[in-house]
Chains A and B, each alone.
Chain A
């Protein structure tokens, strides 16, 4: 009788499809909205430094930790946990709280929006205003859904990954919701350090040597195992080195810039809508693990375009799946906004 239970079907294909599409629904996150993403995808956001990659992560995190509805106001968030692994150790929590506050205030439709935008100071003087315009309790509840871990080298990163399963389980018990996003800031942060340790020869061969290859393999394997048990969307940023196919364009652009009188003509100059090649330095194991890739970079500030003065425009271009156009987006206090 027990054997018969093995053979009987669990569910039909139609039931499975409806179940999976309810659990793992498609998401659209600006500025990654060209390609719908679902849990289980691994997205790599590549770009030179600085190019707003962490801002994109913060935007996605805010979208995830916002509740769907709170006291009658519809926020439209996912109300799930976000696990942020900071390998770059450069994450600024004030920026996240600023974005979250902006979103809360925008949605709750308070009249203080104008005065908040003029007062750009994030150091607490804003909360002393008489009418705050956002719910403190909601803010605290949202911030608690953001889990943060910092790793200073590959050992710590591997240790974190191995214990992540238990951490997520414990977080699920505390909060009652699962984690939907796994964010890794700068997956290539330890690349050089790991490469350098490859050439060091240890005396004993019994212990497995920590090399770039073995670290990457372990990382991929651990994340894969984790995704089986906790289905999550993995967003990883990567600081790349753009190739030199556009160097001729750069010389032309900089000579144009020199004629105009702006003092900061040391900005990263990139070519226009042509395709930029960049050097892929992560090992093949990681490259084949990634399912989606998007390239972001900073574009020139057009001096004639004074509307976006002192705010850089960034270009984003999907490499995998390969789309032929690039979007422009800017970063404002409230988050990332698509321009074109």
Chain B
């Protein structure tokens, strides 16, 4: 019972900034959940991550930690998203808001899993020891392309790679639950049997994220297509189309 109260009080839903996704997910990303975005290359995963980051930073005035593995973080694009929001009138106010919002988004470039675990542990310590005020509280953690960190160590029959992957997953989930963050990770796709694409990272990863979303983009257009692969309480297979 206390769990339900905790969920209702602390774990709000963060809007993703994109109406199609919000409608699909009935409000947006859940705080306390680990959401995975799967899709082939250039299907819009990083764009969605940037959009969500900019939305959380402006609308909820929350801190965002962006762990970037492929140098895909683009401050210009974030500024573009922020300027799209038609809230401000004057140019100076716009500039101030821009600065404030940008200062809330922290980007870390990591290139291997141990560095990522390091960053996440540091975040955990700082969250645990700090008394958070309302404005600067970290609300969102994005790991762009967790698959590029884990794929090099997976493989073979040894358990170490998978053990590391699973313990990283548990660490992220623990962070999400205890400190009221929403965590987003992206994953790419690999070829499966019969030439059909399937999400990378294998079977053991499948039971780690709370929500798995499949993205695809029609070639040549900017319309993305997203469907739910797995969700805690929504039937899988629901789909939505939207544009970024």
Contact = CB atoms under 8 A, between A and B. Distances in A.
Nearest to B173: A89
A193 B238 contact: no
Interface in B1-55: 1, 3-4, 7-8, 13, 26-27
A143 B1 contact: yes
A206 B7 CA distance: 44
18 contacts: A89-B173, A89-B174, A89-B177, A95-B233, A97-B4, A98-B233, A143-B4, A152-B174, A189-B166, A192-B165, A192-B204, A195-B159, A195-B163, A196-B163, A247-B193, A250-B194, A301-B237, A312-B235
A260 interface: no
B150 interface: no
Contacts of B197: 266
B161 to A, nearest CB: 9
A49 B207 contact: yes
Interface of B: 1, 3-4, 7-8, 13, 26-27, 158-160, 162-167, 170, 173-174, 177, 193-194, 196-199, 203-204, 206-208, 210, 214, 216, 225, 227, 229-230, 232-233, 235-239
Given A49-B207, A144-B1, A152-B170, A263 B216 contact: yes
Interface residues of A, number: 51
Given A92-B232, A192-B204, A264 B194 contact: no
Contact of A196 (B3, B13, B159, B194): B159
Given A196-B163, A310-B235, A312-B237, A92 B210 contact: yes
A264 B7 contact: no
* 7 residue pairs, one from A and one from B, having the closest CB atoms: A196-B163, A92-B232, A95-B233, A195-B159, A49-B206, A143-B1, A192-B162
B194 A254 contact: yes
B227 A263 contact: yes
A249 to B, nearest CB: 11
A50 interface: yes
Nearest to B174: A152
A48 B203 contact: yes
A95 B229 contact: no
A50 B230 contact: yes
B163 A50 contact: no
B207 A88 contact: yes
A153 B171 CA distance: 10
A50 B206 contact: yes
A121 B23 CA distance: 11
Interface string A304-323: 00000011100000000000
Given A189-B207, A266-B196, A122 B163 contact: no
Given A122-B233, A251-B193, 12 more contacts: A89-B173, A89-B177, A123-B13, A123-B26, A123-B27, A150-B177, A186-B207, A241-B203, A254-B196, A263-B225, A264-B239, A266-B214
